[in-house]
């Protein structure tokens, strides 16, 4: 069965209580449920993780590649805007990575307009709340990401 890694970066464990007017009211467990439901309908197996530490994300990107996963759905949180390590990790692997954000980062502060991940991602989905994750899974499962 196709395996998809869904990786979440810093502060996403705070969803539900963190700035709900921006990130919505659903917590990360709710997003995980949504992801697992979508994966079932697509026949995919999900590795769903969250960390507040940059190096964990780097390790998990490598792990997904070693596991020969179908691809990675990545919400890097604020590391999107700062992490050359994530940029390099994605360049080092051959899997498609779909960058997702709950909010429309381009409609927010200028410091969120630059992403180190976007230039090495297969595609970017932002501004649709938790649906971004389902859309990214669909893209991976339907070969769009190849």
Q: 68 to 97, contacts with ligand DHK by CB under 6 A?
A: 75, 77-78, 80
Catalytic-residue membership of 79: no
Asked if 51 is part of the footprint of ligand DHK (rule: CB under 6 A), the reply reads no
Asked if 7 is part of the footprint of ligand DHK (rule: CB under 6 A), the reply reads no
Asked if 103 is part of the footprint of ligand DHK (rule: CB under 6 A), the reply reads yes
d(CA 83, CA 86): 5
Asked if 134 is part of the footprint of ligand DHK (rule: CB under 6 A), the reply reads no
Catalytic-residue membership of 101: yes
d(CA 134, CA 84): 27
State the virtual CA torsion across 106, 54, 73, 37 in degrees, nearest 10: -110
Binding mask 8-47 for ligand DHK (x = CB under 6 A): ---x------------------------------------
In sign, the C-alpha dihedral spanning 18, 114, 34, 61 is: negative
Report in angstroms the alpha-carbon separations of 43 from 85, 113, 126. Answer: 32, 34, 24
Residue 55 DSSP class: H
Asked if 105 is part of the footprint of ligand DHK (rule: CB under 6 A), the reply reads yes
Residue 37 or 106: the one with the smaller Cβ distance to ligand DHK is 106
CB of 98 to ligand DHK, least distance (A): 13
């Amino acid at each position: 069965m196709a395996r998809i890694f869904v990786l979440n970066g810093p502060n996403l464990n705070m969803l539900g209580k963190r700035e709900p007017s921006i990130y919505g009211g659903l917590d990360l467990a709710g997003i995980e449920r949504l992801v697992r439901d979508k994966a079932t309908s697509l026949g995919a197996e999900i590795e769903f993780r969250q960390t507040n530490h940059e190096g964990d994300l780097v390790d998990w990107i490598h792990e997904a590649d070693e596991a020969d996963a179908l691809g990675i759905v990545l919400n890097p949180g604020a590391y999107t805007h700062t992490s050359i390590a994530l940029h390099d990790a994605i360049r080092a692997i051959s899997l498609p990575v779909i960058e997702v954000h709950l909010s429309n980062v381009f409609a927010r502060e200028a410091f969120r307009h630059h992403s180190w991940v976007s230039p090495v991602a297969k595609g970017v989905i932002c501004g649709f709340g938790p649906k971004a994750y389902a859309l990214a899974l669909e893209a991976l499962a339907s070969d769009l990401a190849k």
